[in-house]
């Protein structure tokens, strides 16, 4: 049995690297798309009145058992920022959740309902682009796996390689556009969204970082695939030149 040539082994390694990057990008995109931690922050809300046995710094305590006592009311208004508490929240493409004060759990709302009406079209475009991004990533990963596992002619492999590179590049462009559109929509929602949702402080969360990591892996897979395609074409051209040269030598100096 003939040993595997160096170019063939190199092509297989490149195909394996491209598939691994594409699969990693697909996993990252699915996790990010389904999570609600694209953005995280806090929102200032008024403390509720302490009732029953509720204590601590998350509710307002009266100095007097009489709720109508003027001194108690005066105390509440003079405390300033002390009557507010920071409520943590996190938001994603699908919904936004915030913690419930003095209770366990979270209260979630649809992020689409929070988005200003003028920007909902952009949000839906972002959602559609994210879905297409995942579908194209899946298609590219399937094509790469078929190319790795199905041993056909080199020409068929080149065709499949070119198609998977095209699909992966298109997926990366869609992913970049989708992430940027969501960023714009979220910033508009922060400025023009409902008063009972607008955050006091916020920053991008781990899902947002994961989405851009998915984009980076996708583009790395596309570059690796295109590089593999180009290198294979150059190898073919080199072999063709060597074959033509050997044929010319044979033609000039025939064996008798």
**10 or 43: whose pLDDT is higher?**
43
Rounded Cα distance between 140 and 124, Å, is 24
3-state SS class at 224: helix
Rounded Cα distance between 147 and 18, Å, is 11
Amino acid 43: pLDDT: 81
Q: According to the per-residue pLDDT averaged within each range, which of 23-37, 88-102, 150-164 is highest?
A: 23-37
- What string of DSSP letters covers 65-134? S-TT-HHHHHHHHHTGGGGEEEEEEEE-SSEEEEEPTTSSSEEEEEHHHHS-GGGHHHHHHHHHHHHHHH
pLDDT tens across 8-31, in order?
666 678 778 888 999 999 999 999
Q: Which residue's structure tokens are 């990693």? A: 24
State mean pLDDT over 224-248.
71
How is residue 60 annotated by DSSP?
B
Report how far apart the first and last C-alpha atoms of the chain are (Å, whole number).
33
State mean pLDDT over 142-147.
86
What the chain holds in terms of domains, given with CATH numbers, is: 8-36+116-238 (1.20.140)
pLDDT band at 59 (very low <50, low <70, confident <90, very high): low
**pTM score, two decimals?**
0.76
Query: Residue 129's CB: how many other CB atoms inside 10 A?
Result: 20
Q: According to the per-residue pLDDT averaged within each range, which of 7-21, 109-123, 238-252 is highest?
A: 109-123
Rounded Cα distance between 250 and 256, Å, is 11
86-90 — which CB contacts under 8 Å span 24+ positions?
86/42, 86/43, 86/44, 86/200, 87/42, 87/43, 87/44, 87/45, 88/40, 88/41, 88/42, 89/40, 89/41, 89/42, 89/43, 89/197, 89/199, 90/36, 90/37, 90/39, 90/40, 90/41, 90/205
Task: Name the nearest CA neighbour of 32 among 125, 126, 168, 143.
Answer: 126
Q: Pairing state of beta strands 39-46 and 84-91?
A: antiparallel
pLDDT band at 102 (very low <50, low <70, confident <90, very high): low
Q: Which residue's structure tokens are 């988005």? A: 115
């Amino acid at each position: 049995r003939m040993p595997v040539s160096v170019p063939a082994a190199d092509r297989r390694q490149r195909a394996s690297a491209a598939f691994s990057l594409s699969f990693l990008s697909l996993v990252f995109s699915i996790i990010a798309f389904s999570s609600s931690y694209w953005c995280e922050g806090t929102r200032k809300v008024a403390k509720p009145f302490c009732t029953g046995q509720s204590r601590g710094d998350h509710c307002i305590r009266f100095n007097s058992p009489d709720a109508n006592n003027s001194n108690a009311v005066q105390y509440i208004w003079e405390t300033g920022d002390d009557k507010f508490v920071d409520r943590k929240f996190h938001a994603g493409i699908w919904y936004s959740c915030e913690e419930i004060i003095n209770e366990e759990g979270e209260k979630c709302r649809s992020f689409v309902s929070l988005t200003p009406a003028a920007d909902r079209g952009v949000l839906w475009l972002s959602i559609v682009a994210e879905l297409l991004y995942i579908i194209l990533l899946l298609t590219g990963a399937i094509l790469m796996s078929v190319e790795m596992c199905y041993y056909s002619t080199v020409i068929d492999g080149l065709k499949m390689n070119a198609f998977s590179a095209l699909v992966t590049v298109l997926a990366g462009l869609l992913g970049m556009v989708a992430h940027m559109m969501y960023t714009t929509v979220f910033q508009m929602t922060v400025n023009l969204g409902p008063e009972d949702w607008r955050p006091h402080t916020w920053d991008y969360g781990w899902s947002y970082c994961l989405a851009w990591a998915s984009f980076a892996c996708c583009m790395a897979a596309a570059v690796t695939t295109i590089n593999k395609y180009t290198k294979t074409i150059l190898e073919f051209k080199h072999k063709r030149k060597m074959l033509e040269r050997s044929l010319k030598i044979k033609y000039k100096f025939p064996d008798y």
